[in-house]
Amino acid sequence: MKKIQLSPFWLGTLVAGGVLLLLLVLVITPKVNQQAKQKRDLKRRADDLKAAKEGTPSRGDIDSWNKYKGDVSLAYKQVTDFYAGSDKYLERWFPGILLGAEGNPARDTFMSKYRDEGDKLEASLVAKDVKVGVEDDAGRKPKFGFNWEAVTPNDWATIAGSGAADELNVLRELQKRFWARQRLANVILNGGVKMNRIVDFRFFKSLHEKLNNAPWQQYPNKPDEIIHWQGVNAGPNGTPSGFVETDLPNDLGKTLTFGFAVELPYSEVPKAIREILNPGNENTAQERMLVNLIGTHVTIRDQNEAVVKYTFVKGNKESEDTAKAKALADAGGEKPRPVLLAVTCQIVDFDPAKVKKFTAKAE
């Protein structure tokens, strides 16, 4: 039998073909499959983009959004900085008061200062011929007036029973209430508004939830003493119903609502309202405090006599003038009687600790 011998050339060609076939199976085929898969993925993504092209943000959109975010962040910072700066005066303690390691005064130290500063405030008004409070028929100590919170030892024991933090919160509340009362005094002392009497001054929120029937929260019960407080859902007797303070957006604080009633000439009413809203009537510009007006009510309690009769000798000019002057003086004179102005206000009690910090890098 004759054997077939392959020449080296054909043998090499056969081996090379086998190697190429092996490469095709092990290397090229997976790459082809991978390419086919990538083409399918690319087509799917292209279809998705085509379907969503109306809502797909462009680079211009992203730049515009980042600019808008920057503008809003800047405006937020400017607004919160303004309110935080205006809140500094409201949050401070009495100048010169002894403070502890945590920056707060002891209760006895604060209350002693609170009473002394209240007496000084009233004395400064009396020196301006402004009466504080309403005298009763028996001529006893005037009532109402600034309605200072005379917190008793039993009251403090009640407050302490609600938790250690409640005492400090009440002290801070008392300090803020003093600054609000001082604001009214500054309307007279710095603003130059002529007033005859501070009739009433009250806060509509309880000093503490367990002191709801405190003496300084009692409302007048005589018809001629009732004050019509506006904007606090007050009933016919002037007592608010279901009053709660307003929360600022994003937990940035609360309002501090108070009302005051004063006797003054009617011509001074616009000036009094303007000055209570004017942050410039404090002693220094650093004492700025923001006050919002909720409502006002003007009452004429006493009218001048419509007709004043007097007797004189007919034809005697001196007798006529003398009798007329005496009759007018007995009737209260020719000047109009003072009116009662009741004003309801809110102070923005801002909390700078709740201001958000927009420092994250925009995506």
3-state secondary structure 164-222: HHHHHHHHHHHHHHHHHHHHHHHHHHCCCCCCCEEEEEEECCCCCCCCCCCHHHCCCCC
Report CA 77 to chain centroid distance, whole Å.
17
pLDDT score of 137: 64
pLDDT score of 363: 47
CA atoms of 71 and 358, how far apart (whole Å)? 11
Global confidence as pTM? 0.74
CA atoms of 234 and 239, how far apart (whole Å)? 5
CA atoms of 16 and 21, how far apart (whole Å)? 9
In terms of phi and psi (left: phi > 0; alpha: psi -120 to 50; beta: otherwise), the region of 333 is left
Contacts of 233 (CB under 8 A, 6+ apart): 240, 241, 242, 243
CA atoms of 283 and 96, how far apart (whole Å)? 16
Please check whether residue 86 is in contact with residue 288, taking contact to mean a CB–CB distance below 8 angstroms: yes
CA atoms of 125 and 114, how far apart (whole Å)? 17
**At 5, which amino acid appears?**
Q
Dihedral pair phi/psi, residue 259, rounded to 5°: -135, 150
Please check whether residue 134 is in contact with residue 143, taking contact to mean a CB–CB distance below 8 angstroms: yes
Dihedral pair phi/psi, residue 11, rounded to 5°: -65, -40
182, with CB counted inside 10 A (0-12, 13-18, 19+), is: buried
CA atoms of 91 and 114, how far apart (whole Å)? 15
pLDDT score of 320: 78
pLDDT tens string, the chain, 363 residues long: the values are: 555 565 676 666 776 777 677 666 666 677 777 888 888 888 888 777 777 666 667 777 788 888 888 888 888 888 888 888 888 888 999 999 999 888 899 999 999 999 999 999 999 999 999 999 888 766 667 788 999 999 999 999 999 888 778 999 999 999 999 999 999 999 998 888 999 999 999 999 999 988 888 888 888 888 888 898 998 988 887 888 888 899 988 889 999 999 999 999 998 999 999 988 887 666 655 567 788 899 999 988 666 555 677 787 788 888 778 888 777 776 655 566 789 999 999 998 998 888 888 765 544
Q: Reading across the β-sheet that carries 291-299, which strands appear in turn?
A: 131-132, 197-203, 253-264, 339-350, 291-299
Q: Residue 255 forms beta bridges with which residues?
A: 348
Place of tokens 């690319």: 42
pLDDT score of 305: 57
The CB density around residue 208, as the number of other CB atoms within 10 Å, is: 20
Report CA 279 to chain centroid distance, whole Å.
14
User: E strands, 50-130, where?
Assistant: none
pLDDT score of 362: 47
Residues in the chain: 363
pLDDT score of 284: 56
Instruction: Tell me which long-range contacts 161-167 makes (C-beta under 8 A, separation of at least 24).
Output: 161/210, 162/208, 162/209, 162/210, 166/208, 167/107
Report which of 154, 290, 135 is spatially closest to residue 225, judged by C-alpha positions: 135
The CB density around residue 356, as the number of other CB atoms within 10 Å, is: 11
Q: Residue 25 forms beta bridges with which residues?
A: none
